[in-house]
Copies of this chain bind each other. A is one copy, B any other.
């Protein structure tokens, strides 16, 4: 691989020289931001000395914030701190690349913490990774390409990411040692990312005091356990003083945690929080806690209720350097979910919004899927009648985190266009008021700057992609219906009789689980305004109807279609839409670099096969279950 030549490797930091600008002369504050400016100008082909660009630190602006002022006659970039200056440089370069020449800009991140969690195993395999092997680990130890890791850090910093964890939250006994035996390796990673303003988080194993400390328990109320954590954290901070903190997955999917020891989630989180507190560190505590051994016959237990039930009563019991990491939806990164009722519900506990950039249930970087579109909806989701989730970002929700989608594939994300998701995550965590259209435009203009004819069709295709994927997948928010374990492709009953608490309960007449107060009572976890909206079939947004209501197949949707006919129609349409994507893409053959054209075309063909499989399996499933044919007489396999 000649990295510097490969289109995909450059992502949204494509080289020039295609710009019609004069050159610039950097000046002022020397340091990493300065170096990055020089490098960036060089990259986009502005080499002559014409315009002065002055870099300056200016505390008044505030941390991480920046100002850019001036024009072709002279430009000033001011940063509230070093990170702010760096973001100012990247923000300037990005705007310049997109043709802006006059600046009067103040920008600052909404959320203080914009985090990527890598689910990289120490073996080098990435859990839920669809773009090659780990960038951080190889064969059971830290192992990386230094230049590549710096390039990755630059990509992340350029979109405002300021913290990353690099080991899987499913910590194994080997990766648990990243804070003990392998601490020198962890330190090396921290050093690589530090200049880019990116702090390191380590995912820790809750049972570390037993695994590594020789203690007989990991009980959070045991003084020896607390002491072990305090001593271990002190060691870590001695080597990595700016470590952001620890992230913990506990009491989740067969992992041990405080509950398995008879303690509360607060006991567990505070244990870790107190260990890192003296060093300014955080405890990021995941709320993905539910009964994963449910009996499918049990219709009382309702998995979406779990996180709220476990955590809401503990509000006020968490130390101030605990942040609760809450998945955006109450299920698990499905194509369509309501927001978690826990988001915004707790008055006294800082919260983090957890998204997923890696496309576990959303096409696995074979199928095109614009997460930005979904995230815009998530930010829009009401907390009350007057507050949207977006309004809490930077306030109660001062961190936005996502599971990363990058691996060692030459283009980072497997599907070239999945780079749009990485890009959008950084940008929308920085500024949740950005629309999907805005960030996808930004991304496409940067990535395809040298291929201008392709930009508009690609923007349209990417923006459409979430809706298309949803059409051929599980209908109306019902979720799952995927092949077990690997989560790609359809299996309508795949999880139906399993222990994971994910049931559609389709029979010959109806489908869905009643989650209203007449049913499992899940809706009661929301603010009354939101509850009322979801409670009523008439006011419930139709695209999520089957998340909340059990409905007969002949239920009439607002379009006049029956529920069943809607399922058939959308599944036929989904395939046609993918065929449309392929036609669009083929029309761009001459307008794109060959490598990009070919690799995306291959993925689109895989997506078409997947869409057809979904169409036929879902349609056959419901036809076999209802005996009702498609009103339009299209082919459904018997």
Interface, chain A (partner B; CB < 8 A) = 296-297, 484, 490-493, 497, 505-509, 613, 616-617, 620-621, 623-627, 637-638
Contact = CB atoms under 8 A, between A and B. Distances in A.
Given A507-B624, A509-B627, A297 B637 contact: yes
A627 B505 CA distance: 13
Nearest to A627: B508
Contacts of A505: 624, 638
A625 B507 contact: yes
Contacts of A497: 490-491, 613, 617, 620
Contact of A507 (B490, B613, B623): B623
25 contacts: A296-B637, A297-B616, A297-B637, A484-B484, A490-B497, A491-B493, A491-B497, A492-B493, A493-B493, A493-B621, A497-B613, A497-B617, A497-B620, A505-B638, A506-B624, A507-B623, A507-B625, A507-B627, A507-B638, A508-B508, A508-B625, A508-B626, A509-B627, A624-B625, A625-B625
**Tally of this chain's copies:** 2
Contacts of A627: 507-509
A638 B484 CA distance: 22
Given A297-B616, A497-B617, A624 B508 contact: yes
Contacts of A613: 497
Nearest to A618: B497
Contacts of A638: 505, 507
A463 B497 CA distance: 31
Contacts of A616: 297
A461 B237 CA distance: 65
Query: In this complex, which of A491, A506, A624 has the most chain B Cβ atoms within 10 angstroms of its Cβ?
Result: A624
A425 B623 CA distance: 45
A451 B616 CA distance: 59
A615 to B, nearest CB: 11
Given A506-B624, A508-B625, 16 more contacts: A297-B616, A297-B637, A484-B484, A490-B497, A491-B497, A493-B493, A493-B621, A497-B617, A497-B620, A507-B623, A507-B624, A507-B627, A507-B638, A508-B624, A508-B626, A509-B627
A342 B630 CA distance: 42
A613 to B, nearest CB: 8
Nearest to A506: B624
Contacts of A492: 493
A437 B163 CA distance: 70
A506 B506 CA distance: 15
A184 B116 CA distance: 54
A380 to B, nearest CB: 36
A623 B297 CA distance: 14
Nearest to A505: B638
Contacts of A617: 497
A296 B637 CA distance: 9
A624 B491 CA distance: 17
Enumerate the 3 nearest inter-chain pairs by beta-carbon distance, A residue then B residue, closest first.
Answer: A507-B624, A508-B627, A493-B493
Contacts of A624: 505-508, 625
